Structure 1
């Protein structure tokens, strides 16, 4: 799947960034861990928010990553699509175009599972 290949490439360069910018990436990782853990919002809810934001900001890497993580956290197809619908409302036409990217990832990952 194209999105998975892109994320593999992304992961390679994230590792390189960690080597070149160890403090920045260590702190980013700590921030990420603090944000995604269960609190007032569950980790699943946070991943659904991330899906919506990824679509709204038009980040293909983010879309692939957060759709996959939302599924891993137990989000249903319907929940993911609803998060995408909020992104469309907030992001307009460009978000609609990237919503199709999210659909591709969702279809591929749910067909595999």
Structure 2
């Protein structure tokens, strides 16, 4: 990933899995995802949202998500994305990797505290 593309993404390795997980929780559109990711601390509130929209388009291209047009309350229609079966499989893979990373992070924290 181009380093410029990660500007505003606080935890880059969790960016893609977090989007998939939020879509699994509730089909939604890009703007709502941006707000949720910001509230969770995955991205900064002032981040350019284009990486989110690029990721959603990429998910569609590779079959991890599908979209449907939804009438906007105000303004134009918006695309609402939901996870596909392939997206569920990818999410399971990411979850296993996050679990492994969590073990490494816990070790790091324990070791750091020991050495302080």
Is this a same-fold pair by TM over 0.5? no
TM-score of the pair, normalised by structure 2: 0.33
Higher helix share: 1
Bigger Rg, structure 1 or 2: 2
Richer in strand (by share): 2
Q: TM-score, normalised by structure 1?
A: 0.33
